[in-house]
A and B are shown apart, each in its own frame.
Chain A
Amino acid sequence: MLFNSIEFLIFFPIVICVYFILPKKFKQLWLLIASYYFYMCWNAKYALLLLFSTVVTFCSGLMLEKAKHIEAGEKDKKKILNAIVAGSFILNLAVLFFFKYTNFALQALSGFLSRALYIYIDVPVFDIVLPVGISFYTFQALSYTMDVYRNEIYAEKNFIRYALFVSFFPQLVAGPIERSKNLLKQLNVPKKFCFENFREGLLLMLWGYFLKVVIADRIAVFVDTVYNDYATYAGWYLIIATMLFAVQIYCDFYGYSSIAVGTAKVLGIKLMENFNAPYFSATVSQFWRNWHISLTSWFRDYLYIPLGGNCSNIAKYGKVGNTDEIKANYDTKVGIIEQYRDIFITIVGGGANYRRIRKYLNKIIVFLVSGLWHGADFSYIAWGGINGLYQVIGEMLQPVRDKAVSVLKLNRDSIGHRLAKIFVTFALIDFSWIFFRASGISDAIMIIKSIFTVRNPWILFDGSLYKCGLDIKNFHLMIISIAVLAFADLCKCRNIRLRDVIIRQDYWFRWIFVAAAVTFILTFGIWGANYNAANFIYFQF
């Protein structure tokens, strides 16, 4: 069921009405039933995978809780706890791997064998349908295992509540990837109807629908036209399409997240914000702190830090230049395999070099994994790698940049300087989106080549842009809508909450605003029978 489908507009009012009417003890069960129904609208049998993940992580939580209290030595206890966590991760990731990466892995292996060893194998392509949202709920469930392991929460003993935590329909298929600390705690307390939550939730949903059906789906028409025939639409067509794709994917995902957060808000549940005006970021690392926050923070907490993070723990325990001590003091809980570390330390030497290079490597690893999480294709890995490299290179060049600012006497606080940084950051991020949007690495390379070699700037002025799937009226509406988004993000940067501004207005203004917003979205949105409803881009992850 899509948020932008008629089915959801029928489903959601029924869910909230029944939820608030039911006695407290049935509320969670009702939401669980609704969530599974929501998921099963796509593919009923794949709900079994969701249930499998839920059962495995629920049991692992209980086992971890029990193992913490068994009478055994710390070392043995640790081994047992590690074994349980490993079991939970292996089972969940095996399912994820099978459904998402089997074909990719086989193709990659075949490619490697044929290119490196001249061994040619006819690899079959399995017809495996990717379960919707599997990456999201798997990561959410695994975070619970880790949180119990790390003593950040107690294991949940109520299976229905836990199953609801994994399958909570607003964020089930495309996030935000919630933490057990936040969501499980809220699910513990059945909610009463709250008008303020209802109003704020609806406003958030309206904003989400605006982003999705008015902006993202309109831009998609243009971008698809250009990218699907990049040989014809060369040069500046591709530049414009790539810039618009940056907005499309933002609106698509931010739109989904807003609807999800708003939906949960109506039910009295507060989900984390997933975006914070990312395209106003002045650096790539700031962009990643503001983009898909729930996933970025997941990788930070459950991958980057275990890998060693910024290696601050080494700095804390180690002594610069003393590789033995570093090795001895390094926290094995978050470490990587011993052999790798030994070799690495031997190569790069100890101390500052080690910390710096480890940090760079960790970043690259995290972004490569993030790329792979987004899709089973080398183009996604390339996209992740490029973003990792941006950050590594950015940090490596920091002294040079500082020197340049100092020599040229630039004022870092000036609007011009800040705008330039925002522009450069956008350009860098946008460049990486080419790999995300293109059908594969080779297509991405062809598109980049076209962008840098074909000179046709006149298409910006002769009306050619209105022949790429959007007529002149739709094109102008798209530009106006993007301006509205930019204004809203600017307000966000300045800590102005537009929702609060609207809510503070007189009642008559609010009525007209809501009516006009609904009418605007329904009229100018790309939806309905005259249109083959596009899935949210992030569902495939």
Chain B
Amino acid sequence: MWEKLKKIISCVIAAAVTISMLGYMTDLLERKDSDLKYQDFFDQDEEFDVLFMGTSHVINAVYPMELWKDYGIVSYNFGGHSNQFATTYWVMENALDYTKPKLMVIDCLTLSGAWKCSDIFSYMHLSLDAFPLSVTKVRAVWDLLDDPVLQEAIDNGKARESDEPRTKIGLLWDYSAYHSRWNEVKESDFNPVPQREKGAESRINLVQAGFNKIPREKKIEGGTVGEEYLCRMIEDCQRRNIEVLLTYLPFPAGEGQQMEANRVYDIAEKYGVDYINFLDLDIVNYGVDCFDANSHLNPSGARKVTKYLGQYITEHYGIEDKRSNADYEFWDTDYSEYEAMKDSNIKAQSSIVNYPMLLSGDKINVIIEVRNKDIFKNQLMLNLFRNMGVNTDELGDNTDIILIKNGGEKAWVFNDFKASGGSADTELGRIYISGERNGYYDIMLNERKIFEGNINENNCMKIAVYRSGEPIDNVKFVYSVNPETTIVNVASVER
């Protein structure tokens, strides 16, 4: 009997050691994107009040940390790259295994979609990898990979060729997909750096875009696979007493997408839920707020959308402001890390276009000294200044200093600054210019030197950025402006 018991114990221990080793290797070798996106969600024991569901449009357009700072809303961004509605449905179902929010915000892009999941399989990993194995996850994988329409599209070459084999086991046991990463392991695999965007993602670029509005009557027919799953999402939320807000986030939408957005009015009416069609609103400026030509918003646009949503949610759903709730103090800590991330994004910028775009809407103060006034001939730069709250009518060949409070909340333009006395009082404090000494001068704000310059330096623009009174960045763009095309050519960026 003892011998038998010994053998059984031996087998159990051998199995336990094996599982432990495999567990360690699984954590080490897996692609970290999904874990990092959802890490804060799984690390938090307290409930979330609002979850945002949808595609990459949601990832790039809604910043939960800003909602926390401005409205005290505890939310998480569950948007997934290239998510089809069925995928979004299953992401929501999995998320609801771990939290019970008061409000579910569902973006309705891809409503007309006939597929259940993205043709690019790595996006499926991104959406689902971080969820632990559960009955819901197994059901999700079984449903999502049972997709003859997508399979036919792949077979006919109408869908993109997937970057990875589309297998159920790859999603349920991601080690089966990631074990071959052993030859790519880096320090970041051992010490992954946590993201503090709560599922969102700031994508930094600026593309000028626009779109033509179509009449609201033009809409897609109902009964699509996307609509089927949207209805299931709404019904499931209502069954669980979770309020639903439908959105169609802003981007330079084509006709087909606008028809999708128009169809959502009918669905919202059918279920008696609110719907914000951002395509019908004048919230973003497509001239400065787009990351790319056909879909996503950059941080400037995202902050506008986030602010609007924050106000709307606060006014319509009575979500509690948790900023004074001691249980959620750690969100302030996370916000500090989030700010540090934003600061590092600013400091990493060397584009004269992206830089002012990033400053817009952020809780930062900015001092700009313009030496080369030709920049005001460029319409995009004027748009960017306007985006930061500057009255561009005041800008011209005699503009010396521009002060911006809280990323555009208020702005001051100082023309003929030195000539008019070289000092002024603003809400940011007293700004003045020191006397010239051997051809050099200093610009000061509240006794603090901001810029040091040469009086003959007429080829640059200097920008100093402050957050909570502390300097973040001080950069000098040396540039020229083509007199005919008004294109700005940056010669160097100095810090």
Contacts and interface: CB of A to CB of B under 8 A. Distances in A.
Contacts of A526: 180
A528 B177 contact: yes
Interface in A473-532: 473-474, 507, 510-512, 514-516, 518-519, 522-532
Nearest to B177: A529
Contacts of B164: 529-530
Contacts of A522: 22, 25, 175, 179
Contacts of B177: 528-530
Contact of B179 (A514, A528, A532): A528
A461 interface: no
Contacts of B175: 522, 528
Given A471-B183, A524-B182, A528-B180, A518 B169 contact: no
A515 B21 contact: yes
A529 B162 CA distance: 12
B18 A514 contact: yes
Contacts of B13: 511
Contact of B21 (A516, A530, A532): A516
Contacts of B173: 6
A527 B173 CA distance: 13
Contact of B165 (A6, A514, A519, A530): A530
A511 B183 CA distance: 26
B17 A523 contact: no
Contacts of B22: 518-519, 522
A527 B169 CA distance: 12
A256 B133 CA distance: 31
Contacts of A516: 21
Contacts of A514: 14, 17-18
Contacts of B344: none
A531 B167 CA distance: 10
Contacts of B165: 529-532
B144 to A, nearest CB: 14
Nearest to B166: A529
Nearest to B183: A473
B210 interface: no
A118 interface: no
B414 interface: no
Interface in B275-303: none
Contacts of A510: 10, 14
Given A522-B175, A523-B179, A523-B182, A528 B170 contact: yes
Contacts of A519: 18, 21-22, 25
Nearest to B28: A523
Contacts of B170: 528-530
A458 interface: no
Contacts of B180: 526, 528, 530-531
Contact of A507 (B10, B20, B178): B10
A195 interface: yes
Contact of B14 (A515, A528, A529): A515
B482 interface: no
Contacts of A531: 165, 180
A529 B21 CA distance: 21
B25 A515 contact: no
Contacts of B167: 529
Given A195-B7, A471-B183, A530 B178 contact: yes
Contacts of B345: none
Nearest to A532: B165
Given A514-B18, A515-B14, A518-B22, A528 B182 contact: no
A529 B175 CA distance: 9
A487 to B, nearest CB: 22
Contacts of B91: none
Given A519-B21, A528-B169, A511 B10 contact: yes
A511 B22 CA distance: 14
Contacts of A524: 179, 182
A527 B179 CA distance: 9
A519 B10 CA distance: 18
A530 B169 CA distance: 11
A187 to B, nearest CB: 26
A265 to B, nearest CB: 16
A523 B20 CA distance: 14
A74 B19 CA distance: 66
A500 to B, nearest CB: 17
A293 B482 CA distance: 82
B183 A474 contact: yes
B126 to A, nearest CB: 15
Residue of A514, A525, A528, A531 with most chain B CB atoms under a 10 A cut-off: A528
Residue of A474, A507, A511, A530 with most chain B CB atoms under a 10 A cut-off: A530
A527 B182 CA distance: 13
B169 A511 contact: no
Contacts of A532: 165
B336 interface: no
B419 to A, nearest CB: 65
Nearest to A507: B10
Contacts of A473: 182-183
Interface string B1-36: 000000100100110011011100100010000000
Contacts of A523: 25, 29, 179, 182
A6 B18 CA distance: 17
A529 B18 contact: no
Contacts of A528: 169-170, 175-177, 179-180
A56 B22 CA distance: 48
Interface in B384-433: none
A525 B179 contact: yes
A523 B28 CA distance: 11
Given A507-B10, A523-B25, A515 B176 contact: no
B449 to A, nearest CB: 53
Contacts of B7: 195
Nearest to B21: A519
A480 to B, nearest CB: 13
A528 B179 CA distance: 8
A527 B10 contact: no
A385 to B, nearest CB: 40
B17 A511 contact: yes
Nearest to B170: A529
A534 to B, nearest CB: 13
Nearest to B24: A519
Interface in A322-367: none
Contact of A6 (B17, B169, B178): B169
A68 to B, nearest CB: 48
Interface string B163-194: 01101011001011111101100000000000
Interface string A68-99: 00000000000000000000000000000000
A144 to B, nearest CB: 37
Residue of B10, B17, B29 with most chain A CB atoms under a 10 A cut-off: B17
B176 A6 contact: yes
Contact of A529 (B17, B25, B169): B169
B15 to A, nearest CB: 8
Contacts of B178: 530
Contact of B17 (A471, A474, A515, A527): A515
B8 to A, nearest CB: 9
Contacts of B182: 473, 523-524
Nearest 6 interchain pairs by C-beta: A529-B170, A528-B176, A515-B17, A515-B18, A473-B183, A529-B177
Given A6-B169, A522-B175, 8 more contacts: A511-B17, A514-B18, A518-B18, A518-B21, A523-B25, A528-B179, A529-B164, A530-B177
21 contacts: A471-B183, A474-B183, A510-B14, A511-B13, A514-B14, A514-B17, A514-B18, A515-B17, A527-B176, A527-B179, A528-B170, A528-B176, A528-B177, A528-B179, A529-B164, A529-B165, A529-B167, A529-B169, A529-B170, A530-B164, A530-B179
